[in-house]
Amino acid sequence: MKINIKKATFLWVITATIGLSSCKKLVDINDDPTRLKDPDASLVLPAAQGRIGFTMGSDIHRYTSLWVQQFAAQGGGAAQPTQYDKYAVGESDINNTWAATFAGTLSDLQKVIQKTETTSPKYSGVAKILRAYVYQTHVDAFGDLPFTEANNFESNLKPKFDSSSSIYDGLISLIDAGIADTKKASALSPTTDDLFYGGDMDKWERFGNALKLRLYIHYFSTNGTAADATKAKAGIDAILAANKLLRNNADNFQMKFLTSANQTNPIHQFEGSRPNQFFPSKTLVDLMNAKGDSRRNSFLTLLSGAYVGATNGIGDVTISTNFSRMNTYIRGRLSGTAYGGEAPIRMLTFAEQNQILAEYFARTNGGANLVTADTYYRAGITASFSAAIEFSDATEAAAVTSGLATYLASTNGTVAVGNAIQKIIEEKFVANFGVAIEPWTDWRRTGFPALTPVTPATAIPRILPYSFNERSYNPNTPARPSVFTKTVFWDK
């Protein structure tokens, strides 16, 4: 599968299928036996996938990456990111994300399931796994959500909100159902209209299992119960026994982009349109500096020979551009002074999967599995270093790669009794640079990395507000006292 074919499909679908749920058939394909007789599912799937990629690189990424201090805002008080950086994200700020997700992505995926579950279940399997991913990220961001009554627009415009814990249970079942569908005989199967894996059902199964790992590891938290740990252990042990997980970076769940105008990575697009508002945070940069992390070469640009991060929470009054910026890992290949913008939006990677398993083994059996934890920890580091050079030139790639052996040989490259969880989560924090929500989730459930609230706040947000439009029109929307209220079940 060549990526240009996939992206051509994606770009045409995004342009042609706005409001697809009410569209008539766009082309006559009745005589093409390789396509669905009703073309909607083969068009809706890539439209939903493309929307997922853009959503996870847009507002929801900016809010959560600022709060967890992977990024910091600059540009003065009139710049929106400086307000977000000071935790001023309001209900109206959420309207677009909420609508894109519930009226757009989740609704479209549900239509794919309804159209294909009986005759072409490989489509419905992919859609079920994707619905589980979207819900996982949004439950972690918002807490309770419409789930069992969601997307029934013909009969229920005011769905109830299900508890975050019950949704998690439902997501495990949804993923299992999706994986089962991918293994069934199917009249038609996704090919170029699958923008993530090109119709490779084996990769969808592997991603589905990796997504279950992510769900289960969230049960391990600072205030988690013994019952939570038992539930998570049983789930992870079953996944490990099945031995069907991401194998390498080629299995990463990520959305790739093109270098053409308006077809690039949304983080890159934001940097291009607002070039002095979104910088790598001092928290992230100082952590990498302290470890002599050679991934800085592709993650960050140099400023007068040094890597310098911006301080969170002061960009509205202390305005400067004297900071390192995002480099090729986030923005794609560099040609002269221009970035290509083709770097992917990463959503769940092989590096993260390894750190999830490192954390799991560090937490279980009273520390007796620390050697196994260390093996996964080092594998996660190696995978991250490898991914870091995908868009590097030869000089930059050599600078990153040459530091791997030194990094692994140092105290940074191994976990030990007493600091294992901190080291694993800090490593995951770096490896997930550019990943929406998950670094914030890790901080909320573990307390790592150590963060200081921006002045004058005394705490860091634990939850996003609900959409103003949803609260206005759906009386079932729960009260949301403040963004500082612990709401998600694993954060209580």
pLDDT at 38: 53
Please give the tally of structural domains in the chain.
2
Claim to verify: residue 75 and residue 170 sit in the same structural domain = yes
Q: Are 343 and 265 in contact (CB under 8 A)?
A: yes
Give the residue among 136, 103, 174 at the shortest CA–CA distance from 470: 103
Claim to verify: residue 419 and residue 445 sit in the same structural domain = no
pLDDT at 23: 32
pLDDT at 14: 45
At 417, the amino acid letter reads V
Claim to verify: residue 459 and residue 425 sit in the same structural domain = no
pLDDT at 40: 84
Claim to verify: residue 437 and residue 425 sit in the same structural domain = no
Q: Is residue 455 part of a domain?
A: yes
Claim to verify: residue 235 and residue 130 sit in the same structural domain = yes
Claim to verify: residue 360 and residue 472 sit in the same structural domain = no
pLDDT at 1: 34
Claim to verify: residue 180 and residue 225 sit in the same structural domain = yes
* CATH number, domain containing residue 482: 1.25.40.390
Q: Is residue 335 part of a domain?
A: no
Claim to verify: residue 219 and residue 191 sit in the same structural domain = yes
Domain that holds residue 419: 350-431
Q: Is residue 292 part of a domain?
A: no
Q: Please report, in tens digits, the pLDDT of each residue of the chain (492 residues total).
A: 333 434 444 443 443 333 333 333 323 323 344 434 454 889 999 999 999 999 999 999 999 999 999 999 999 999 999 999 999 999 999 999 999 999 999 999 999 999 999 999 999 999 999 999 999 999 999 999 999 999 887 778 899 999 999 999 999 999 999 999 999 999 999 999 999 999 999 999 999 999 999 999 999 988 888 999 999 999 999 999 999 999 999 999 999 999 998 899 999 999 999 999 999 999 999 999 999 999 999 999 999 999 999 999 999 999 999 999 999 999 999 999 999 999 999 999 999 999 999 999 999 988 889 999 999 999 999 999 999 999 999 999 999 999 999 999 999 999 988 899 999 999 999 999 999 999 999 999 999 999 999 999 999 999 999 999 999 999 999 998 899 999 999 998
Claim to verify: residue 464 and residue 373 sit in the same structural domain = no
Q: Is residue 108 part of a domain?
A: yes
Q: Is residue 166 part of a domain?
A: yes
Claim to verify: residue 249 and residue 152 sit in the same structural domain = yes
pLDDT at 366: 83
Distance CA 321, CA 326 (A): 13
In the chain the first and final C-alpha atoms are separated, in Å, by 45
Q: Is residue 204 part of a domain?
A: yes
Claim to verify: residue 454 and residue 415 sit in the same structural domain = no
Q: Is residue 315 part of a domain?
A: no
Claim to verify: residue 252 and residue 191 sit in the same structural domain = yes
